[in-house]
Structures are given as C-alpha cells and as structure tokens.
Amino acid sequence: MTSVPVGDQPKDIEVQIRDLILKHISNPNSIILAVTAANTDMATSEALKVAREVDPDGRRTLAVVTKLDLMDAGTDAMDVLMGRVIPVKLGLIGVVNRSQLDINNKKSVADAIRDEHGFLQKKYPSLANRNGTKYLARTLNRLLMHHIRDCLPELKTRINVLAAQYQSLLSSYGEPVEDQSATLLQLITKFATEYCNTIEGTAKYIETAELCGGARICYIFHETFGRTLESVDPLGGLSTIDILTAIRNATGPRPSLFVPEVSFELLVKKQVKRLEEPSLRCVELVHEEMQRIIQHCSNYSTQELQRFPKLHEAIVEVVTSLLRKRLPITNEMVHNLVAIELAYINTKHPDFADACGVLNNNIEEQRRNRMRELPTAKPMCSNICSVQSTKGVFAPAAGPQGEQDGTGNWRGMLKKGEEAPGSGPGSPLKGAVNLLDVPVPVARKLSSREQRDCEVIERLIKSYFLIVRKNIQDSVPKAVMHFLVNHVKDSLQSELVGQLYKSGLLNDLLTESEDMAQRRKEAADMLQALQKASQVIAEIRETHLW
C-alpha cells in the first residue's frame, strides 16, 4: 500500500487506496487475501492490519507470504507457515515469485513454478505440499466455490424476489398500446366489473382492515341507521303541557267529553316528522361509501388505470356525476316515504287497533277500580286553578261547590274581603273583573281527567310511532338500494361507454405519462438481467469442483 505520493500521484493517495480496499473487503460475502513479504516483520504488516479491522476473527482471511527465498541467512518462515505467528481461519500459504531479473530474462511461469517447487522441497520439505503457487490456486478455487455454495440460497432468494417485483412492476406498466379502441373498452369494462364486484362482495382485492363496499352499506342500513332510529324517543320534545294544550286547542270554545282525534293526529305527525332527518342521513352515508368504492377500485383492482392518468380522471368524473344525479332522486323518494306516513294516519292499522284495544281495557279496569274506592257520600269537586302556558290561560269551569264558596272560579283568586277593581260603590263597572290584573299561578296540579287524557294520548302516540318507525326502517334501505345502488350498478358500464368511448377522445384518454416508456424499458432490462443471473446460479449448483 502506497503511503508516500510519488511523481504525479495525488497527495491523498494513501486515503484513496485505503478507501478502495475497505470498500471491497467490507462486504461480508468477500474473501480477503492478505499478502505479506516474508523478509519483513509480520507485526508491522499493513495488509493484516486492514484485514483484521473488517474481519477480527479471521474467518474469511487467507494470508499469503511471499519472498521466501529472500529471507536473511540463518532465518526461516517455519513458524509463520505453521500458523503460530498469524492466526487466520482459512490458513497461510507461502509462495516464491519471479524476481525482476527473471522477468527481464523472460523466465516462463512454468519454469518459475518448477523452481519454486524445488526451493520448497529443499528448505521446507515437510510443508512443500501445502505451499506454492499451484496449491494457492487450488485453495482459492475451493474456497471460492464453497463460499458461493454457502451464499447461493440467500442469493437465489433475493434474485427471485427481485424478479417477481420487477415482473409485477412491468405488468403494471402494461404493454404498449396497439389497438386503442379495444384497450379503452377493456379498461372501462374491467373498472365497471370491479366496481360492481366490490358492492357484491366478490372483488379480487378484499379489505381486511375495515369494512368496504357492500359490507359497509349493509352496516349503514342495519347498524348505523337502525340504532339511530331506535334512539329516537317516541315522546321526545313533548311535555304534558304540550299534550294538554293540543287537546284544548282541538276542542275550541266548547269543553269536550272525549279526547279529540285531531289532537292525536297533530301530535303524532310532529313526532313522525322527526324520522326524516336520520333517513336522509342514511342516504348521504351510502352515497359517500359509493364514492369511496371508486378510489378503492382505482388503487387495488385496476392498476392499469395508473398508466393513463387522463382516462382515470375521466372515469372518476363520470361515476361521480352519475352518483350526483341519483342523490336528489333518492332523497326525494325518502322524503316521500315520510310524507306518505304523514299524509294518512291509519288508526285502523292492525297493530295499532290491537294496542288501542289493550289500552281501552286498561282504562276501563282503572275506572272500575276508582269507582270501588269512592265513598258513598257525594264527592267534593277539587279546586281548579288557572294555569299559564305558552298558548294562553286555562280557566276551566268549576263545579257547584266552587261557585258557592267563591274559591273554585276566578273570584277565588281574589283575597277574601277584597273587591275586584272597578267594582266599588258608584263605579260604572261594578261587579266586573279585569282578568289581566289577576295573578295567575305558574303551575297547577292536573285533574284526574286531564292526567287520564294525557296518558291516553301518550300511549297512542308511542304505539303509532313505533309502527311508523318499523315501516321507515324497512322501506328506506329498499328505496336507497333501488334508486341509488342498483341503478348505478346497472347503468355504470353503459354510462362510461356512452361518455368515453368516442373516437375523438381515444388519443387524449390513452396518453401515457412522459416517463412511462422509459420506466417500462428499465424494468424490462432489469428483469432480463435477473433472469440471466438465475440461470447462472442454476449452472453453478450443478458444477462439482473440489
């Protein structure tokens, strides 16, 4: 190794040579040949020092000792050749090379080997058969072949993996387009087929990390939408005062003997209307999933589309436009489903009739129980106070007892001993009362009849609401499947062909990216080199060299 620059050599010649050597011997699959002259001290050998840096155990280092014939008189290399000085696993071999005089005299290699053999027989007769140039050549050949055989399994595996990767890469690049019409029709058909298969669950590439396609749509129908409807309280947003207000407003100025049916219809329609928002949200979720299927097919199922970015963009635009056109139609149908339920409150529905029969029986049983509990004396009417609500002031008529003592009607609101404003002596409005000046209690206790009427309305609303919710939960998924999912599946291919399969668009849609041809050529060349390397390895495994 050069340490001092000579002539026109660069100043860092030592560093360059050292880096060059380390670059090659650092490879764990390489065999290191450390050459040292016999007439120098082995402890100062630069070759052995560098070899020990990358191979401290000496497992892949073979030491070679040269210039055995130039050692000082009275010395020999017996200890070195026996391996007592330099511990290396692959052994140590001594050789005698031609001198500069022999080269000048054009001494042949055969003569040099013969003279070398004679020198070894004379100086090291016991080691002659394990040293020399011929033995070094055989040893190197044997080590190389054995080393190659040890590395072959891993090397062959790496070559096969790389070959498969480049084969897949070349397939994704595809062959150069010859028939544009056939290629375009084939890509459109394949995309439409994969899109439909993803919805049906028969796609070639199936997601394992999350639900996708038809499975996701099924989850939206039966889990997301179903749980949302079940979470809607049939009586949510309705208070007892709201129900009582509706009953009062439905009776008009005349007190009624029975609960008016108009109040029930008014309240139940208000509750049924709340089912429209989750139904429209279900349509939106299915629409979003069908948009995601486009990206899924583009990434996994039809990799050929990556060759033609303009065709890919056009297909995405056509499918998105088709979904966008079907969305308002589906929303309108879902809106109509709720409107149909609101249009006619079918109180003769079999399930609702059964619920009403059970309810009437319960009310009649409660009435009989109360009649049994009443005392034989004439019952006293309960005092009734006015109640303030958002709709106005309730002031139901009082019973006879209230009229006698003045506590059951508006006169009872005044303190005893006080007269109404404007009713004093000499007043033209004597005996009249200004109701606006009368303090009205914020709340009051409902009478037994009012409580009974509210309970009846609540039970009827809940019973009918559950019937409608069951209908909506069944009909909305069917409407979404018919007007959105199935329609898109049936018309997708015809829509793509009608929009894209045109002679004027062929050249533009089937234009490859600029570097696609170059990458295809590089992948083909690399694949060919790997296939050739695999053949060479196969030949080496069949060769027997010992």
Same-domain pairing of 131 and 78: yes
Same-domain pairing of 203 and 89: no
Contact predicate 501/184, CB 8 Å:
yes
The span from the CA of 158 to the CA of 198, in Å, is 35
Amino acid at 381: C
Say what the pLDDT of residue 61 is: 86
Instruction: Report the relative pairing of strands 393-394 and 387-388 from DSSP bridges.
Output: antiparallel
Say what the pLDDT of residue 377 is: 43
Same-domain pairing of 91 and 197: no
Say what the pLDDT of residue 407 is: 41
Contact predicate 311/305, CB 8 Å:
yes
Q: For residue 406, tell me if it sits in a domain.
A: no
Q: Examine the fold and report which residue of 165, 191, 212 is the final residue of a domain before the chain moves on.
A: 165
What's the residue count for the chain?
Answer: 546
Say what the pLDDT of residue 388 is: 37
Same-domain pairing of 203 and 161: no
Same-domain pairing of 157 and 219: no
The span from the CA of 450 to the CA of 244, in Å, is 7
CATH number reported for the structural domain that contains residue 198 in this entry: 1.20.120.1240
Alpha-carbon dihedral angle through residues 329, 334, 339, 341, given to the nearest 10 degrees: 150
- Give residue 465's domain range: 180-364+446-511
Say what the pLDDT of residue 404 is: 39
Q: What's the start-to-end Cα distance of the chain, in Å? A: 33
Instruction: Tally the C-alpha atoms within 13 A of residue 398's C-alpha that lie toward its C-beta.
Output: 20
Q: For residue 302, tell me if it sits in a domain.
A: yes
Q: For residue 7, tell me if it sits in a domain.
A: no
> By three-state DSSP, how is residue 518 classified?
helix
How buried is residue 370: exposed, middle or buried, by Cβ count under 10 Å (0-12/13-18/19+)?
exposed
Say what the pLDDT of residue 360 is: 59
Q: For residue 101, tell me if it sits in a domain.
A: yes
DSSP letter, residue 439: -
Contact predicate 24/30, CB 8 Å:
yes
Say what the pLDDT of residue 338 is: 94
Q: What residues are paired with 33 via a beta bridge? A: 62
The span from the CA of 25 to the CA of 327, in Å, is 68
Contact predicate 523/307, CB 8 Å:
no
pLDDT 10s per residue in the chain (546 long)? 677 888 788 888 888 888 898 888 888 888 888 888 888 877 778 888 888 888 888 888 888 888 888 887 777 778 778 777 777 788 888 888 888 888 888 888 888 888 888 888 888 888 888 888 888 899 888 888 887 777 778 888 888 899 999 888 887 777 766 777 888 888 888 888 888 988 888 877 677 677 888 889 999 999 999 999 999 888 888 888 888 888 878 777 777 666 777 888 888 899 999 999 999 999 999 999 999 988 888 776 556 677 788 888 888 999 999 999 999 999 999 999 999 999 998 888 887 766 565 555 555 565 656 566 555 444 444 443 333 333 333 333 334 343 334 444 434 444 444 444 444 544 444 455 555 555 545 556 777 777 777 888 888 888 899 999 999 999 999 999 999 999 999 999 999 998 888 888 787 787 777 677 778 888 889 999 999 988 887 776 555 544
Say what the pLDDT of residue 416 is: 43
If you compute the radius of gyration of the chain from its CA atoms, what whole number of angstroms results? 51
One DSSP character per residue, 260-281 reads: -HHHHHHHHHHHHGGGHHHHHH
Contact predicate 71/44, CB 8 Å:
no
The total of structural domains in the chain comes to 2
DSSP letter, residue 116: H
CATH number reported for the structural domain that contains residue 99 in this entry: 3.40.50.300
> By three-state DSSP, how is residue 34 classified?
strand
Q: What residues are paired with 34 via a beta bridge? A: 63
Same-domain pairing of 149 and 95: yes
One DSSP character per residue, 458-514 reads: HHHHHHHHHHHHHHHHHHHHHHHIIIIIHHHHHHHHHHHHHHH--GGGHHHHTPPPT
Say what the pLDDT of residue 328 is: 95
